[in-house]
Structure 1
Amino acid sequence: MRALIQRISEAAVRVDGATVGQSGPGLLVLVCAMRGDTEAQADKLAAKIAKLRIFQDDAGKMNLSVRDIGGTALVVSQFTLAAETKGNRPGFSTAAAPDEGKALYDYFTDRLVAEGVPSEKGIFGADMKVSLINDGPITIWLDTEA
């Protein structure tokens, strides 16, 4: 699985003009299930994100996790993280099939909650409009295969 996480002051996702999920302060997690991914990889990714120390402590050092600050997460499915960019038009053949992708997306979000990170999410496969205020900005790429 792949994820792009951003430290945020706030974020929201809208579908057809209605807010379907929001978060902050905490993380915006853009997540993509890759072909062949398993629940074990979702477990690993959720645990890593919950423990990742990217929030500042009293000394100004990135030493606290989203759990440590009592933060929340907004999880948005993002199949374009699987983009293959050899040419000028990206290909997405390495992304999981939609039914598998949705199942892993839902499972991942549930695991993040189980790891102690209250989470809301977008709607898988919908035309989502995401707004956010970055904090830092801090943006980190994670891949369970890396």
Structure 2
Amino acid sequence: MVTKEQVLEAQKAWGAGVVKIGSLKDDRTACEQFASEFLDQRYAFEAGTVLFKPTKCAVQQFRPTKTEALSYFIAGEDRACEEDKGFAIQPWTKVRFENAGVVLEENRAIAMGNYFFTDLDGNEAKVEYTFGYQLKNDVLKIDIHHSSFPYNG
């Protein structure tokens, strides 16, 4: 059975990875290498379908491949999607999760809530998320990632 502690640890590792990607933005080679490893460690691209809908995408809203996810996180001249600016190379100094709820199953978990990204000036961006995780070799890997800005009517 997947535990809530495993989900919290996966969230902590995801947030730390996003912060580290941004810290490497001035060393493009190291940034690309770490971001690729981050996707391998945190997402289940090698296991099959990953449903990835990042926050800041309007033209190519869904990113089912590692190449498209990498483009979203770090952009670059060879980015897969023209609209990408490199979400993770903002950079961010902190990511924190506030779960509205977590569903635990034998080999899966789903978490939904808000996560908050702190920029270099201490400003916090609030984003809604749903992450689905699958347990692979005792590691939770993301196979569903949906995030969006809160409704602003």
TM, length-normalised to structure 1: 0.30
- Identify, as 1 or 2, the structure richer in helix: 2
TM, length-normalised to structure 2: 0.29
